[in-house]
Amino acid sequence: MSITRRAFLSLSCAGMLSTLSPLKTWAGFDPLWRSGLPVGRPIDTSVLEIFKIGPGPSSSHTIAPMKAGNDFLALAKALPQEQLASADMLRVRLFNSMSSTGIGHHTDKAILAGLLGEEPETCSGELLDGLFAQPNDTRTVAIGSVRLPFSRQNIVFEKEHRKAPVSDVFTISLHAGEKTLLEREYYSVGGGFLQWKGWTPPERGKPRHSFDSMNGLLQLCQSGLSIPQIMLENEMAITGLSKATILKRLEDIVLAMDSSVTAGLSIEGKLEGPYKLERRAASMYKEALALPAEERFLASLSAFAHAAAEENSQGHRIVTAPTAGSAGVMPALVHMLLSERKKAMPALIDGLLTASVVGMLIKRHASVAGADVGCQGEIGSASAMSAALLAQVQGEAPEIIENAAEHALEHHLGMTCDPVDGYVQIPCIARCAMGAVKAWNAFLMAKTGRGTFHPVGLDVTIRTMAATGQDMDARYRETAQGGLALFYVQGC
Ligand code: SF4
């Protein structure tokens, strides 16, 4: 926090708090967060939950559903043998945005892959490409000794809206004739996180450093600790993993981001989907290399974002950062820093730790799911996290990091989610490039504005995003029923 901003907070917050009556504008608004003190449950999300390696094109529609398939398989296997032996059918019911964009987002393939025992981190893109490649494709799901056929006929794309705590809802059930042997209602809560009806948070360690806002974190940093130090120590306390294990996993994540760009740059041709869009990343990069230096940088960054986003749209291996739809943003910066600027791996890992806290705060106080708050939650969050990563890698102080993230998020506020035909292609791929460019610019604005007062902090921007998302018409929250999804006509 710049000195002027910190002074502003310390001078004004107490007064504001004492005079604030309960806010009428938004029921979830808690004015206490303004104090910057840890007022709620401390952030106890794991960095490894924010960055997940898995198949695209939408973490909430692929990674979480694949986990659900896996979870249901384990539940079904635990049924008493005589019950299980009577099972004759599996059924999946998709509701709300899971139904309206389920085909374009490969939700059907992801659930089937999970039921076949595949896991997001290791499931190959080729296997997913092959599922339901033909309309009558039928696979055999093995539940212990029971073998059940599974085709698209087993998936119901429901028209009815199901009320639930989140928008992404689906059920998986196992039947014996008319009898339901087992059913679970799943909630995909963004970024590949999965919950279900009756879900309780898993036991985990208490974070070593307690905060639930960026202002709270900045106060902790005043003791001389850096954000990566705080996040690493918290990660060890929360997960119980050793420092070496965590650092190795974070290195794997950096490398997976980098290779999603490299892979995308090496492929030309058409993307799978109704519009047979051209893959653009490789040719964009070729053109970029011929440009003058000042243009080459921006054009290359955009090409890198296209590369990872094109891979994502094909359901290939990407890293959620924080979601799959936004998986082109941070990898573009990572590739630029690692491959072109030759930054060292430890600096990138520090950047990842710092970026993760921005994602955690957004997840806690707003959402990273397009189905909850529109695209501001996906590309906006990715851009804010990337700006924080960049500021950290460049060795900037915590207040510059906070300001960089804030700039990037603030200037995505209100952005709707409107994937054409439910495919994570238009506008998602090019939007990743814009998110990457904005992240870099947000960092430059924070760096060059150092020492001056910046009136809006990251915490207030996150709350604003949550409230804006609540106000957003459902058509603009990953239902493919508004915006470009409504008006786009090929060739126009
Ligand atoms: S428009 Fe944004 S939020 Fe919606 S699917 Fe595309 S990237 Fe995700």
Residues 219-232: tens digit of each pLDDT: 999 999 999 999 99
Residues 186-205: tens digit of each pLDDT: 999 877 889 999 999 888 99
Which helix (H) or strand (E) element contains residue 44? none
Tell me the CA–centroid distance for residue 432 and ligand 1, in Å: 9
For residue 490, what pLDDT is reported? 80
Better-predicted residue by pLDDT, 270 or 8? 270
For residue 58, what pLDDT is reported? 83
- Percentage above 70 pLDDT, the chain: 92
- Percentage above 90 pLDDT, the chain: 77
- Evaluate whether 52 touches 320 at the Cβ level (below 8 Å): yes
For β-strands 89-94 and 155-157, DSSP reports them as: parallel
Average pLDDT over residues 117-126: 88
Residue 20 has pLDDT above 80, yes or no: no
Per-residue pLDDT band for 60 (boundaries 50, 70, 90) equals: confident
Q: How far apart are CA 418 and CA 477, in angstroms?
A: 7
Report which protein residue has its CA nearest ligand 1's atom 4: 417
At residue 47, what is the residue type? V
- The domains of the chain, with CATH numbers, are 3-54+209-487 (no CATH), 61-188 (3.30.1330.90)
Ligand 1 within 6 A of 424 CB? yes
Tell me the CA–centroid distance for residue 68 and ligand 1, in Å: 22
The contacts of residue 364 (CB under 8 Å, 6+ apart) are 40, 43, 45, 212
The contacts of residue 261 (CB under 8 Å, 6+ apart) are 304, 307, 308, 331, 332, 334, 335
For residue 17, what pLDDT is reported? 30
Residue 24 has pLDDT above 90, yes or no: no
Residue 114 has pLDDT above 60, yes or no: yes
Q: How far apart are CA 76 and CA 182, in angstroms?
A: 7
Residues 64-105: tens digit of each pLDDT: 999 999 999 999 999 999 999 999 999 999 999 899 888 888
* SS3 state at 36: coil
Per-residue pLDDT band for 167 (boundaries 50, 70, 90) equals: confident
Residue 32 has pLDDT above 60, yes or no: no
Ligand 1 within 6 A of 478 CB? yes
Instruction: Tell me the whole-structure pTM to 2 decimals.
Output: 0.82
Tell me the CA–centroid distance for residue 5 and ligand 1, in Å: 33
For residue 161, what pLDDT is reported? 79
Ligand 1 within 6 A of 485 CB? no
Residue 6 has pLDDT above 50, yes or no: no
For residue 176, what pLDDT is reported? 98
Average pLDDT over residues 321-329: 95
Residue 4 has pLDDT above 50, yes or no: no
Q: Ligand 1 atom closest to Cα of 416?
A: 1
Ligand 1 within 6 A of 372 CB? no
Ligand 1 within 6 A of 326 CB? yes
Residue 420 has pLDDT above 80, yes or no: yes
Tell me the CA–centroid distance for residue 167 and ligand 1, in Å: 14
Q: What average pLDDT does the chain have?
A: 90
Q: Ligand 1 atom closest to Cα of 374?
A: 3
168 Rama class: left (phi>0) / alpha (psi -120 to 50) / beta: beta
Per-residue pLDDT band for 39 (boundaries 50, 70, 90) equals: low
Average pLDDT over residues 245-251: 98
DSSP designation for 270: B
Q: What is the 3-state secondary structure (H, E, C) of 208-244?
A: CCCCCCHHHHHHHHCCCCCHHHHHHHHHHHHHCCCHH
Better-predicted residue by pLDDT, 135 or 475? 475
CB atoms within 10 A of CB 229: 15
Q: How far apart are CA 207 and CA 189, in angstroms?
A: 22
Better-predicted residue by pLDDT, 18 or 281? 281
